[in-house]
Amino acid sequence: MLAWLAKAFQRSTLMKKDIMQTNDPTLKSFIPTPPESHFPIQNLPFGVFSTAADPAPRVGVAIGDHILDLAAIAEAGLLNVKPEIFRQASLNAFIALGRPTWRGTRAAISDLLRADNLQLRDNQALRAKALVAQDQATLHLPVEIPGYTDFYSSMEHATNVGSMFRDPANALLPNWLHIPIGYNGRASSVVVSGTPVQRPNGQLKLPDAEAPVFGACRKLDFELETGFIIGQPNALGEPIDIANAEQHIFGMVLLNDWSARDLQQWEYVPLGPFNSKSFATSISPWVVSMDALEPFRAESPVQQPEPLPYLKQSGKNGYDITLEVSLKAGQSAAPQTICRTNFKAMYWTMVQQLAHHTVSGCNTRIGDLMGSGTISGSTPGAYGSLLELTWNGKNPLVLADGSQRTFIQDGDEVAMTGWCQGDGYRVGFGAVSGKVLPARG
Ligand SMILES: O=C(O)/C=C/C(=O)CC(=O)CC(=O)O
Ligand SMILES: [Ca+2]
Ligand SMILES: [Mg+2]
């Protein structure tokens, strides 16, 4: 027993040391990363990529404007994980190896990429094999996603939508302050950044009409969100305790929960969104580990009334992530920023969402995706959807080229980006983007 305890203690202190070393702001890689790069040595997010020369998808880590091919590095005997774990079209096999392996692998990669480590730096043959320029690679959906749930955790967003769709005098529904509200989304239509999004068809009820009509969505919108990926599943009937919830999270991505507002407003009562959010959800290709995000923990808003005991959290469970949305109007050359906000203002935290999701006994699986809910700040420029930015079309956005937008038009491209600002470096998420194609005729 004592020996076991001593070993567990040694393992946990080793792990803490690993994170502290990998997150050291003074660390430098031999791959140059300017201060605004999203992928310095302090980040090392995991993804899946392929190249024209080797079209088989495999696991890689982003470093500067390159990708480190983990299959090639493991084949060279430089990682404690079998190469076949990385010769996969998703991260799931790697994630299944557990948190000590995620951590140990990130630490080994960090070591290998250090400016003062000659092992890879001065091995031209291995560099040629294992380092791929990002612009020469195709990035794939990083995770096989068995289930997708979307939460509703921004008080500002819930208040804004409540005002527009329901009653401005009672915008926030009474359950909202007690429950991290969510709905079960569609995992089948989660796509990776860059995948075009077809405008959905569906039922619409026009303002003064008696009956609905069938047609193309006229109020197509984005929702700025982050998502987290389940790394350690829980069994059916065994809820995840909030104190351990973080251990179950592999990492985070950016997420665009494309939304058809006209379909939504007609269909959502009383069971919630269905076709209005089932046609596409885009995520960024790089999964940023919770270890890389550790230095950017932030206080989340004070919760009043106090949540029930199973939702009581301790410590800082928010994260300081700057987020931006840009819109590139079909005809214009340049994208224009239309929203700037921060993830730390979210009322319900990821650990609360996970504790709530499983409190019924609901199980989760490796790769399950949990959307944060739309991330809206308190000022109009910080609203995370066009529904809010244009107040349901009443106040169109005027773009730099003079054109106006209430909702997304065919040919428009929406891109989201996000990063944590360190001292002289950024731990970033890259981007999630998607161009809208006309509805099926
Ligand atoms: O308030 C409503 O009726 C609906 C809000 C949403 O659009 C649902 C949703 O996707 C949750 C979110 O992103 O916060
Ligand atoms: Ca959403
Ligand atoms: Mg969606």
Mean pLDDT of the chain: 96
Query: DSSP alpha helices (H): ranges in 198-260?
Result: none
The predicted pLDDT at position 3 comes to: 63
What percent of the chain clears pLDDT 90, i.e. is strictly above it? 93
| Of 14 and 418, the one with more pLDDT | 418
Residue pLDDT, tens place only, 188-204 = 999 999 999 999 999 99
Q: Is 223 marked as a binding-site residue? A: yes
**What does residue 315 show for φ and ψ, rounded to 5 degrees?**
75, -170
Binned at pLDDT 50, 70 and 90, residue 6 comes out as low
Query: Residue 222 C-alpha to ligand 2 middle, in angstroms?
Result: 9
Note the pLDDT tens digit of each residue in 244-271. 999 999 999 999 999 999 999 999 999 9
- What's the confidence (pLDDT) of residue 332? 78
Which residues, other chains included, contact 367 with Cβ-Cβ below 8 Å and sequence gap of 6+?
Answer: 90, 91, 92, 95, 143, 144, 145, 146, 229, 230
> CA-CA distance, 175 to 347, in Å (whole number)?
14
Burial 344-365 (b: 16+ CB within 10 A, else e): bbbbbbbbbbbbbbbeeebbbe
Can you tell me the distance from the alpha carbon of 84 to that of 414, in angstroms, rounded to the nearest whole number? 36
Does residue 150 have its Cβ closer than 6 Å to ligand 1? yes
Least confident of 17-21, 116-120, 179-183: 17-21
77-135 tens-digit pLDDT:
999 999 999 999 999 999 999 999 999 999 999 999 999 999 999 999 999 999 999 99
Q: Is the pLDDT of residue 178 over 80?
A: yes
- Can you tell me which residue has the tokens 């294992």? 130
Which positions are catalytic? Answer: 157
Distance 273 CA to ligand 1 centre (A): 8
- Does any ligand 1 atom lie closer than 6 A to the CB of residue 257? yes
> What distance lies between CA 261 and its chain's CA centroid?
22
What is the number of other CB atoms lying within 10 angstroms of the CB of residue 436?
Answer: 21
CB atoms within 10 A of CB 173: 14
CB count within 10 Å of CB 207 equals 5
pLDDT at position 1 is: 52
Q: Which domains does the chain have, with CATH numbers?
A: 19-140 (2.30.30.230), 148-437 (3.90.850.10)
Q: Does any ligand 1 atom lie closer than 6 A to the CB of residue 152?
A: yes
Ligand 1 in reach of 221 Cβ (< 6 A): no
On whether ipTM exceeds 0.90, the answer is yes
Is the pLDDT at 12 greater than 80? The verdict is no
Ligand 3 centroid to residue 409 C-alpha, Å:
18
Residue pointed to by tokens 């190469």 = 83
Residue pair 290/316 in contact by the 8 Å Cβ criterion: no
Alpha carbon distances (Å) from 195 to 143, 155, 281:
15, 30, 10
Report the predicted TM-score, pTM, of the whole model to 2 decimal places: 0.96
- Which residue, by CA, sits nearest to atom 11 of ligand 1? 152
